[in-house]
Structure formats: structure tokens, C-alpha cells
């Protein structure tokens, strides 16, 4: 194997290792499915990983960085592993993969809507934010937004009028105004 | 500290977010209902995170530690607008201040996203995506209170009238502004930003017939006290209420800034107790991690 091939192979193994790292606030979702792994760079002596924070104030970021470092180190051999957060491009919720969306749903969190954020807000300000997030439990669209804020920075809170469960959804974070 | 004027700008932005974040956090557990406990707590958490991003940016240039920047400075070294340090008073004032600050912040962030200081522009790109939810929160409450029952509307109007003068001073230019503009760090002057914001604010208030507060607003109350010398008693200044006038169909600012001085490290009597509280851990346990 040439040096370049070896580096490519290692990059893949590191990515696979990162796919085992979970967001501690949403354990079923891996950080690769969350779309926060922006770059893995393998060089002669180092493995450098760039992550994008979901929300700047997310308290799980340090844990994620440590776990990512530990996972990469298992593959990196003698190479030095460094993990850092970068801010460009900004992370947006449309980076979550289909598998990540399914994992969110399985955890009882409605995946972030592809709906226009302005609709979301306009409805919310009128107190008529209905049907903007389907219920993760029964699938009903007969739901109402309780608040654009929730127990963590990345969640909104809702109520399902069909199965009468309160539930949470992943907060949409999309570009454009 | 180096004399890079860009760092002063970042410091002013960061201090605004840090100090107002602390005020917002005071609603945790005390807001009118649990959704608002969560809303203000989340907004506070966002603001403090944004402050941290900006302190880290400063630290990358001059080597200072984030905690030292956030909590290791004397009160007169903070560059936030006086508006941010005022106590929460009642719900009407808190919502009015949040509305005024976050709409002003949105105007300034839109411009900073185009800054020639690429690292700052990148952070602003991240910050803006989160700030949108703050503006949404403020706008939802704006409507609810302005169109609400009489007492809600009155208390909101009182809150606006109280906060307005010092909200204008969010746009008090930094002493370094000329250099920042000439280097494209700021692509638009504070004066132009203020005009933009006043235009938007005027429209929003006219839509709910509350625009009278623009012409009839009062001082926040309480004396401005300089802390630049560390002596609270020295040099008391009367509050100058800035004029906001409507000319040719446009709302304009004339004259001095009320509560001016925040950008130069001069703060009100309300800041010192807040500073003492937020820096207690850092001062009493140097080097502690948490």
C-alpha cells in the first residue's frame, strides 16, 4: 500500500470510529449522523479532526470532543490526534443524515422540520403553531407548539392532541431569514 | 493587551452578551411561567456562549484566557452598553429591553457578517443563526403585550420608554470606530446602524400605535456613576436624554447618548453589584475550573 493509500484507509477507519461517538444528550445519534464532523485530515504524523458545534452553548461539546479524540486515537497508532471545533461553515440542522433523523425519532424527538422557519415563527407568535412538528410517538400532525425553547438549547417543546403526549422536537437551525 | 482596535470591538460585543446574559439568567425560576423560565434561561445560555466565542477570538490574538476576560477584569474594563446591566425590573421592562437589544443586535450582526475581519465574520455567521430565536421570542411577546389587555400594554409601553434611551446608546461609537470603519472591520458606521435600527423600530411601534414612546421616553433613573477611577462618588453626571425626532417621515436620533460611556468602560451604579456576583467564584478561587 502506498503512503497515500494508507492515509486514505486510516481516514476511513477514523470516520468509522467517529461514527461510534454519541451525543450524550441524544444517545442514539452518532456525531457523524448529526453532521458535525466537518473534516478528518490524516498526515504523516497527525490526525486532525474539525467538528462543528450544533449550538454554541451546548454543554455536551467538551464531552463530544474528548470522546472523538479517544475514538480516533484507537485507530491513529503513533500519529498525534487533535480535535477542534471550527465555526465555518455554520452547522445547520439540514446536515443531519436520514439515519440521524430516524435515530432522533426513535428517541422520541421529532427531527428538525424542513419547513420554512418563518412559518414556524409566524405561527408561534400568533399562538397558533399547529401541525408544525409531527408527533414522534403516534405520527399525528394534530400537534401544537408549546415553546421554541426546551430542556436543551437544541429542542423545542410540543403537545400532541391525538395521543395526548407532550413531546420535543430538534430545533430547526437553517440559513436565511 | 495589544492596541488592536478590533479586539476592543470584539470585547464590546462579548461584554454586551455576557452581561445581558447574566440579567436574563436571573429570570430562571422566577419567570411568569415555566416556558419563560426555559426561554430566558436558554437565551442566557446562548448569549454567554456567544460571549465565550468572542473572548476566545480575542484570546487567540493577545493570549488572554477566556475566564480572565470574562471574569478577571475590573468593572471599568467592561465595554458593554449600560442597557445590558440594568436590573430586570418587571416583565414589561425585561421584554422591552430584550426586544430593543436583540433587534439592535440583529442590525449590527447583519453588518458584521460582512466584516473584513474574517474570523469575526465567521463567528457572526454562527451567532446569527441562534440569535434569530431571540428576536422571534421578543417579537412574539411584543405582539402579545402590545395587543394584550390594557395593563399589559401599559407596562410594556412603560418598559419601552424606560429602556429606550439607553438602547440607543447600544450604538454609541467606540473611540476606535474611525479606524475600524477605514479598515472595513465595520462596513457601516454606528450612526448609520442606529438610523437603520430606528427606522425598523419606528415601523414596529407605529404598527401597534406605540410610536409615541419614541418621542416621550424617560431616563432610566438612577445616577450614572463613573467607575473608571474606581471611585463611585466622583464626578456625577446628569442623564442626558437623547432626542429621537421624526423628520421627513423618518425617525432620527439627535444629540447625546443617554447612559453613554459604556463603550469606554463607564457604567451605572447597577453594574457593580452584578459584577461582584458574576465574578465571585473567579475572584475567590483563582484558577478554579467548573
* ipTM of this predicted structure: 0.90
Asked if residue B23 belongs to a domain, the reply is: yes
* Cell 421529532 belongs to residue: A110
What mean pLDDT is predicted for residues A31-51? 97
Output the pLDDT for position A146. Answer: 87
| Domain locations along chain A | 3-91, 107-170
Number of Cβ atoms within 10 Å of the Cβ of B232: 13
CA A38 vs. chain centroid, Å, equals 12
d(CA B221, CA B230): 21
CATH topology of domain A3-91: GMP Synthetase; Chain A, domain 3 (3.30.300)
Full DSSP string of B66-123: HHHHHHSS-GGG----HHHHS---SHHHHHHHHHHHHHHHHHHHHHHTT-S-HHHHHH
For an interface test with A, the pick among B33, B38, B290 (most A C-beta atoms closer than 10 Å) comes out as B38
pLDDT tens, chain B, 290 aa long = 558 999 999 999 999 999 999 999 999 999 998 989 999 999 999 999 999 999 999 999 999 999 999 999 999 999 999 999 999 999 999 999 999 999 999 999 999 999 999 999 999 999 999 999 999 899 999 999 999 899 999 999 999 999 998 999 999 999 999 999 999 999 999 999 999 999 999 999 999 999 999 987 765 444 444 444 433 333 334 444 557 888 888 888 887 776 678 999 999 999 999 999 999 999 999 888 87
Predicted model pTM? 0.91
Mutate to test the interface with A, among B48, B49, B51, B54 (most CBs of A within 10 A): B49
pLDDT averaged over chain A?
90
Give a yes or no: residue B225 inside a domain. Answer: no
Residue A158: closest C-alpha in chain B = B35
Confirm or reject contact between B39 and chain A (CB < 8 A): yes
* Yes or no, beta carbons of B125 and A146 under 8 Å apart: no
- Per DSSP, the three-state class of A38 is strand
pLDDT in tens, A26-35: 999 999 999 9
User: In the sheet that A37-42 helps form, which strands lie side by side, from edge to edge?
Assistant: A37-42, A46-51, A80-85
Q: Distance (Å) from the C-alpha of residue B14 to the closest C-alpha of chain A? A: 14
Is there a contact between B126 and A56 if contact means CB atoms under 8 Å apart?
yes
**Residue-level pLDDT at A117:** 53
Q: B211 in a domain, yes or no?
A: yes
Closest CA to A34 of A109, A113, A117, A103: A103
Contact A56 B50 (CB under 8 A): yes
Q: Which of B156, B127, B153, B155 is nearest to B14 (CA)?
A: B127
Closest by CA to A83, choosing from A44, A53, A58, A59, is A53
Set of chain A residues whose Cβ sits within 8 Å of the Cβ of B45 = 57, 153
Please state whether A131 falls in left (phi above 0), alpha (psi between -120 and 50) or beta.
left
Chain B neighbors of A147, CB-CB under 8 A: 35, 38-39
Q: Is residue B239 part of a domain?
A: yes
pLDDT at position B154 is 96
The CATH number of whichever domain residue B182 belongs to comes to 1.20.1260.10
Residue B230 forms part of a structural domain:
no
Q: Does B240 fall in a domain?
A: yes
- On the question of pLDDT at A46 being above 90, the answer is yes
At B197 the pLDDT is 96
- What residues make up the domain containing B132? 5-220+235-284
Contacts of B140 in chain A (CB under 8 A): 121, 124-125
Domains contained in chain B, number: 1
Cα A95 from Cα B118, distance rounded (Å): 23
On whether the CB atoms of residues B239 and B258 are closer than 8 A, the answer is yes
Alpha-carbon gap, residue B102 to B20, rounded angstroms: 10
Quote the CA–CA distance of A70 and A88 in Å, as a whole number. 24
| Interface contact flag, A124 B140, Cβ < 8 Å | yes
Q: How far apart are CA A82 and CA A49, in angstroms?
A: 6
Q: Which residue of A has its CA nearest to B40?
A: A149
| Backbone φ and ψ of B242, nearest 5° | -75, 150
Amino acid at each position: 500500500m502506498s503512503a497515500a493509500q494508507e492515509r486514505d484507509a486510516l481516514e476511513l477507519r477514523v470516520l468509522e470510529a467517529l461514527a461510534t461517538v454519541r451525543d450524550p444528550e441524544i444517545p442514539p445519534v452518532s456525531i457523524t449522523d448529526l453532521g458535525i464532523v466537518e473534516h478528518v485530515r490524516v498526515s504523516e504524523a497527525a490526525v486532525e479532526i474539525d467538528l462543528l458545534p450544533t449550538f454554541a452553548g451546548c454543554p455536551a461539546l467538551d464531552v463530544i470532543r474528548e470522546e472523538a479524540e479517544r475514538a480516533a486515537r484507537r485507530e491513529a497508532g503513533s500519529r498525534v490526534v487533535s480535535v477542534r471545533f471550527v465555526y465555518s461553515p455554520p452547522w445547520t440542522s439540514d446536515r443531519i443524515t436520514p439515519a440521524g433523523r430516524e435515530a432522533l425519532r426513535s428517541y422520541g424527538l421529532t427531527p428538525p422540520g424542513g419547513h420554512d422557519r418563518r412559518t414556524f415563527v409566524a405561527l408561534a407568535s400568533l399562538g397558533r403553531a399547529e401541525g408544525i412538528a409531527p408527533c414522534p410517538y403516534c405520527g399525528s400532525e394534530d400537534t401544537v407548539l408549546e415553546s421554541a425553547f426546551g430542556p436543551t438549547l437544541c429542542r423545542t417543546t410540543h403537545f400532541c392532541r391525538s395521543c395526548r403526549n407532550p413531546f420535543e422536537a430538534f430545533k430547526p437551525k437553517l440559513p436565511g431569514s | 493587551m495589544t492596541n488592536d482596535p478590533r479586539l476592543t470591538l470584539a470585547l464590546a460585543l462579548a461584554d454586551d452578551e455576557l452581561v445581558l446574559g447574566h440579567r436574563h439568567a436571573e429570570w430562571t425560576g422566577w419567570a411568569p411561567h415555566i416556558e419563560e423560565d426555559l426561554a430566558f434561561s436558554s437565551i442566557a445560555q446562548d448569549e454567554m456562549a456567544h460571549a465565550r466565542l468572542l473572548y476566545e477570538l480575542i484570546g487567540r490574538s493577545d493570549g488572554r484566557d477566556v475566564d480572565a476576560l470574562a471574569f478577571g477584569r475590573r468593572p471599568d474594563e467592561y465595554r458593554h452598553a449600560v442597557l445590558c446591566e440594568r436590573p430586570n425590573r418587571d416583565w414589561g421592562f425585561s421584554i422591552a429591553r430584550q426586544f430593543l437589544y436583540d433587534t439592535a443586535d440583529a442590525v449590527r450582526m447583519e453588518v458584521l457578517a460582512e466584516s473584513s475581519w474574517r474570523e469575526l465574520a465567521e463567528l457572526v455567521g454562527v451567532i446569527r443563526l441562534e440569535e434569530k430565536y431571540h428576536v422571534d421570542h421578543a417579537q412574539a411577546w411584543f405582539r402579545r403585550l402590545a395587543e394584550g389587555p390594557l395593563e399589559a400594554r401599559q407596562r410594556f409601553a412603560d418598559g419601552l420608554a424606560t429602556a429606550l434611551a439607553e438602547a440607543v446608546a447600544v450604538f454609541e461609537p467606540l473611540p476606535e470606530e474611525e479606524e475600524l470603519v477605514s479598515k472595513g472591520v465595520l462596513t457601516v458606521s454606528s450612526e448609520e446602524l442606529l438610523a437603520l435600527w430606528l427606522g425598523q423600530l419606528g415601523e414596529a411601534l407605529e404598527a401597534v400605535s406605540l410610536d409615541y414612546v419614541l418621542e416621550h421616553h424617560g431616563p432610566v433613573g438612577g445616577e450614572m456613576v463613573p467607575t473608571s477611577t474606581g471611585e463611585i462618588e466622583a464626578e456625577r453626571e446628569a442623564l442626558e436624554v437623547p432626542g429621537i425626532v421624526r423628520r421627513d417621515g423618518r425617525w432620527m436620533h439627535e444629540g447625546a447618548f443617554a447612559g453613554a460611556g459604556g463603550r469606554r468602560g463607564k457604567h451605572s451604579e447597577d453594574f457593580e453589584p452584578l459584577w461582584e456576583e458574576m465574578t465571585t467564584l473567579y475572584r475567590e478561587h483563582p484558577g478554579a475550573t467548573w
